[in-house]
Chains A and B, each alone.
Chain A
Amino acid sequence: MNRKKTALSVAAAGTATGVVGLVLIASPAGANEPPPALPGISAEALVESVLSKDHIPALSGAVEFQQNIGLPIPGLPASSAEGDAIAHVYANGDGAGRISIDQGQSERTVVHNNGTTWVWNSANRSVTKYANTDSDTEDKGTPEQLADPAGTAREVVGLMQRDSTLTVDGTARVAGRPVYQLVLTPKPTERTLLREIRVSVDSETRLPLRLDVLANGQADPAVRVGFTEFKPGPQDPALFTFTPPAGAKVTDGKDAKTHGFDEKNVESLLGGLDFKTVGEGWDTVLTGKFPAQLLSQGLPTGNGRGGETPGALIKQFAKEVTGPFGTGYAISTHVGTALITTDGRIAVGAVPQQVLVDALGQK
């Protein structure tokens, strides 16, 4: 009897230990910690401190991406499971960087250093080399802007405050680091599907660590891009060099043809779209024109055969609507709506469908 008791308690204790361990692994670190106490800061000062960072410091991190916009978007990476990284980023603080993107079975690595960018794709073991690209300047802003971060910040904040409320909504932890939460909320008069945009700014490096886009009527962010791991500090210089491995196909970026689409075709198509914006602030709508026969034209596919027509493709996930604009297809997601009319007009915005209809009406 006594032995039975021991046996039971051993089994129970062991199982309990194991289960507790599993649950501990499952719960993200710091989830139940109170938000860190940080000195208060005004929204304007926070924006200024973010803008005053003229370069990305040396860091390594893992990035997660989650989307729940209610529509599968081709080309967009599938959202990673909670807390799982889809990409790893490294920067040496001197303009060189490395990104490894996990694509399930294969991996893409982008190494940028000294004006040369290497793109490695493990699926077909190809290397594409781009010389003197300026792809890394996109988040640096123009030099004049950077010269006076305080002025720019005032300008940016002023611009934002026309249509939105900008607040610092307390603190939180992202990737285990204390962050300020900068929240951009549309003014009540704005006709938008979005509830707020939340940027988590690292309290120490003043880098944005996470971006959440929250839509109306959704508790979870519709889109979340952010670090799950973030470690500032010097990186191994070997990370920022890339030597094409033996047996890899190396192509020059200039000669490289994009898959499926001919670049020139796309360019002329974009040129013909005649984009313009209607409205301002959160209910900005982008309208454009495109040749109507495009809807019935076969899509060029990788193997040269004509695929489904875009029109048929759209019908699969769009709702047919009629209105003063004629007939068209509306594609609604949690964060935005797109309206494509059969006579070749298109309107896109982070707004409800009615706003798009109004925008199409304004000529």
Chain B
Amino acid sequence: MTAMTVGAEVGAPVRRAPLLRLFRSELRMILRRPRNIIGIGLLGLVPVVAGIGISIAASGSSSSDGDSVDGLAALVDGNGMLLPIFALVLALNMLLPLTGAMLAADALAGESAHGTLRGLLLAPVGRGRLLAVKAMGVATVVLLSIVLMAVTGLVTGLLLLGGDGMLSSSGTQLPFVDGLGRIGLTIVLLTVQIWALAAVALAVSAYTEHPLIVIVCSLGLLIVSGVLSAIPALDWLDPVLIISSWESIGEVVRDPLDWAPLGEGVLRAVCYMVIGISIAYGRMLSRDG
């Protein structure tokens, strides 16, 4: 008994390696699925399409007032560094949550559906570590898709729309490096929000063996949150809804930045992550092989 404990303690630092290996193999598995590759590739195309659309719209309306595009899109014309932010904020409404939900659905429910989760549960890997690997796989691929979108957006923006530095919505010209910082900030904020949704999806994923249910539940959560936030009588509910800080992400294009709503959004997302992961963990522990 004592020997084993000692052995385990001696072996403890060595344990990290398998976790990393598991994580790498999980990542390889996710990225080898054709649907994931196609999905991520299409996400990467979104900023390109948006950029082409905006440049066509802008050149078509150059004779008139230029009011044909409004909102953030109006700012993007001739201001290429804003394109990745614009495209990411656009994708936040549906495409990115869909990606997160799809990955989370594959992670546990998908394995159940194929009957492969049983093998994983029986394997000499702790259930907590199994969940950690699955969650890290989902998180990494979500981050990867968002970064890919930002990169294609930035390249498209600089090539098609041009612009020197970034014009903030407050009318100030930010230098190139600051602009990159804003894009980086957008990536971080968006990633955290999608992680929050993916964590909830993962919890659902742990309970069912039908990946479709996970996607339906996650998108249902979004739609219901949207409806609830639109009802004025339920305004008091707003601060706990998962989507309530998504709108404020568009504020990264302001100058000076107001950190308060952004920080609040991250905290809210962390709360949802804690809820999602702990429910998923509880389910994984109690699940029979």
| Chain A residues near B (Cβ < 8 Å) | 3-4, 6-8, 10-15, 17-19, 21-23, 25-26, 62, 81-82, 84-85, 88, 100, 105-107, 109, 118, 120, 122-125, 127, 229, 236, 239, 242-248
Contact = CB atoms under 8 A, between A and B. Distances in A.
A122 B74 contact: yes
B173 interface: yes
A7 B286 contact: yes
A100 B170 contact: yes
A247 B78 contact: yes
B1 to A, nearest CB: 19
Given A10-B285, A242-B171, A246-B164, A62 B258 contact: yes
Interface string B158-195: 00000010010111110000000000000000000000
Nearest to A12: B282
Interface residues of B, number: 44
B45 interface: no
Contact of B239 (A6, A7, A22): A22
30 contacts: A4-B285, A7-B281, A8-B282, A10-B278, A10-B281, A11-B278, A14-B274, A15-B278, A17-B275, A18-B274, A21-B274, A22-B240, A22-B271, A22-B272, A25-B240, A25-B268, A26-B240, A82-B238, A105-B71, A106-B71, A118-B171, A122-B74, A122-B171, A124-B66, A125-B167, A236-B256, A243-B173, A246-B164, A246-B167, A248-B171
Interface in B254-287: 254, 256, 258, 260-261, 264, 267-268, 270-275, 277-279, 281-286
Interface string B215-257: 0000000000000000000011011100000000000001010
A18 B282 contact: no
B169 A17 contact: no
Given A8-B282, A17-B271, A107-B254, 20 more contacts: A11-B283, A14-B275, A15-B275, A15-B278, A15-B279, A17-B275, A18-B271, A19-B271, A23-B240, A25-B240, A25-B267, A25-B268, A26-B240, A85-B258, A123-B70, A236-B256, A245-B171, A245-B172, A247-B78, A248-B171
Contact of B281 (A14, A85, A246, A248): A14
Nearest to B128: A10
8 cross-chain pairs, A with B, having the tightest CB-CB distances, nearest first: A14-B278, A11-B282, A26-B239, A105-B71, A18-B275, A120-B171, A7-B285, A7-B286
Nearest to A120: B171
Nearest to A21: B271
A8 B164 CA distance: 56
Contact of B75 (A15, A122, A239): A122
The interface centre, meaning the residue of B172, B268, B281 with most chain A CB atoms within 10 A of its CB, is B172
B170 to A, nearest CB: 5
A88 B251 CA distance: 12
Given A107-B169, A107-B254, A120-B171, A125 B282 contact: no
A123 B254 contact: no
Contacts of B75: 122, 125
A6 B126 CA distance: 14
Contacts of A21: 267, 270-271, 274
Contacts of A123: 67, 70-71, 74
The interface centre, meaning the residue of B164, B167, B285 with most chain A CB atoms within 10 A of its CB, is B285
Contact of B169 (A13, A62, A122, A239): A122
A12 B274 CA distance: 11
A14 B264 CA distance: 20
B72 interface: yes
Contact of A124 (B74, B164, B172, B272): B74
Interface in B73-107: 74-75, 78
A7 B282 contact: yes
A245 B167 contact: yes
A6 B286 CA distance: 8
Contacts of B167: 125, 245-247
A109 B171 contact: yes
A27 to B, nearest CB: 8
Contacts of B65: 124
B285 A3 contact: yes
A211 to B, nearest CB: 21
Given A85-B258, A109-B170, A122-B169, A17 B268 contact: no
Contacts of A120: 170-171
Interface in B34-78: 65-67, 70-72, 74-75, 78
Given A18-B271, A242-B171, A245-B172, A124 B67 contact: yes
Given A19-B275, A120-B171, A124-B67, A11 B258 contact: no
Contacts of A245: 167, 171-173
B235 A82 contact: yes
A90 B170 CA distance: 13
Given A7-B286, A25-B268, A105 B70 contact: yes
A84 B285 CA distance: 41
B169 A11 contact: no
Contacts of B256: 88, 236, 239
Contacts of B264: 25
A117 to B, nearest CB: 13
A99 to B, nearest CB: 10
A353 B75 CA distance: 47
A62 B236 CA distance: 21
B94 to A, nearest CB: 18
The interface centre, meaning the residue of B65, B267, B275 with most chain A CB atoms within 10 A of its CB, is B275
Contacts of B254: 100, 107
B231 to A, nearest CB: 12
B285 A14 contact: no
Nearest to B268: A25
A107 B257 CA distance: 13
Contact of A7 (B66, B67, B72, B283): B283
B281 A81 contact: no
Contacts of A62: 258, 260
